[in-house]
Structure 1
Amino acid sequence: MKVLMVDVDGVLIHGRPADGLPHFTYLERDLGLRPDLLQREFFQTHWGDIIIGRDELEPRLASVLARIAPHLRAPTLIDYWFENDSRLDRNLLTDLALLRKSGVTLFLATNQEHRRARYLMEQLGLSAHFDDILYSAALGHSKPSPDFFRLATERAEAMPNEIAFIDDMAMNIEAARQFGWNAAQWTAGATLAGALSEFVRAA
């Protein structure tokens, strides 16, 4: 293993910093917007283009909020969203740091739009833990598209069989394996040591 690719949401980040609950759990109480309404009018309608860089987050969100929650500004909701979806798995970060010291290159491999990708690296400080972030809006393709794995492999400057990958979504694991990566699904209670042992068995 030359490179380890690590997914973000569901692996490295788990919801609200205070309690790990989903980030929009108290959205209606805190900002006066029903999560189901936001899901229907924004995420189901526009997120597909935003996540691969074909549309921009803030202008599109602002246009939606003007219709469904005119009292709420897009920057306010974005700040609330990012801050409440930032509980890092510190144990995993510690284990990853040891692996990186051994010479393995670490990348985040994630479906993100541009603003949250910057937030992850800069505000959350993940740039200190990873060599780079390979994300869907920058690549123009999202997991589980084969093009995501092809472009991520090119950016990593490695052969597919030199890359290991952890992700919580079974469809992403299957797509990575189809491309030739060594992949292990991350589940509740998983450890990096357990994932690494699975890579060894697969090899």
Structure 2
Amino acid sequence: MSASPVLVLDIDGVVSLAQPGSAHPWHATLRADMGLDYEELVRDFFRGDFLEVLRGRLDLYVALQDYLEPRGLADRLEEFVAYWFDKDCVIDRGVLAQADAWRQRTDGRCFAGANQEHHRVAYLRDKAGLGAHFDEIIYSAALGVCKPERVFFTNAQARMGVAVAQSILFVDDKAENVDAARAAGWRAMLYRGPDSLEKALAGWG
């Protein structure tokens, strides 16, 4: 197992910038484009069956079929997934460049550590090109558990082959995830933009 420096970046809110609450959320024109109400989608899907999807217990397409069919939109399932994944893929290439430069300077390893499901991870890794910037994307559906649960971090550490928890620097935009990472023995910082990451990486590794 490795004790060399390891950088772990969250995806949504750190690498990908189209989240709810951002200047340009992915769902901004959802009603006009797809005829779906975002608040209803959050209430009845993202806070419902999608939580099982994130833990790898239910396939995204099965869960969405169950949501869309009663609304007469089952025939638009693949269209909706393509729309969502495309709109929710505003990648901060500057952050990736910082991570790449850190990895080159330190010879450390860089991972993504995120609450994600299988299909979107494949999209982000292959189509959005994140696979070229990370040794691996470590994600909840593969681990069977979500941040901020402690087991996410212990399982992720084992997956990365890291023996010394303090050799990991974890970057996330949610305080509860940062606190949980620290409780698991990792170093962790609350992401507040590229400048905060640049400052942290300057003294890491």
Deviates more, 1:31-40 or 1:168-177: 31-40
Using structure 2 for the length normalisation, give the TM-score.
Answer: 0.90
For 1:151 and 1:95, the matched residues in 2 are separated by 26
1:81 and 2:84 matched: yes
Corresponding residue number in structure 2 for 1:33: 36
Identity level (%): 36
Structure 1 unaligned blocks of 5 or more:
none
Residues 169 and 187 in structure 2, CA contact (< 8 A), matched pair in contact too: yes
Amino acid at match of 1:38: L
For 2:44 and 2:70, the matched residues in 1 are separated by 9
Runs of 4+ with >3 A deviation: 188-191, 197-200
Q: Deviations over 1:108-132 (max 9, x none)?
A: 0000000001111000011111100
CA shift for structure 1 position 71: 6.4
Corresponding residue number in structure 2 for 1:175: 180
Structure 2 unaligned blocks of 5 or more:
none
CA shift for structure 1 position 60: 1.2
Using structure 1 for the length normalisation, give the TM-score.
Answer: 0.91
Deviates more, 1:20-29 or 1:75-84: 20-29
Corresponding residue pairs, total: 198
Question: Among residues 19, 22, 26, which one is paired with 2:25 in the alignment?
Answer: 22
SS at match of 1:73: helix
Corresponding residue number in structure 2 for 1:90: 93
Question: Among residues 52, 56, 59, which one is paired with 1:53 in the alignment?
Answer: 56
Corresponding residue number in structure 1 for 2:109: 105
For 1:177 and 1:69, the matched residues in 2 are separated by 46
Residues 95 and 194 in structure 2, CA contact (< 8 A), matched pair in contact too: no
CA shift for structure 1 position 142: 0.6
CA shift for structure 1 position 69: 4.2
Change (3 A) 1:72 1:41: farther
Corresponding residue number in structure 2 for 1:136: 140
Amino acid at match of 1:111: N
Corresponding residue number in structure 2 for 1:124: 128
SS at match of 1:106: strand
CA shift for structure 1 position 101: 1.1
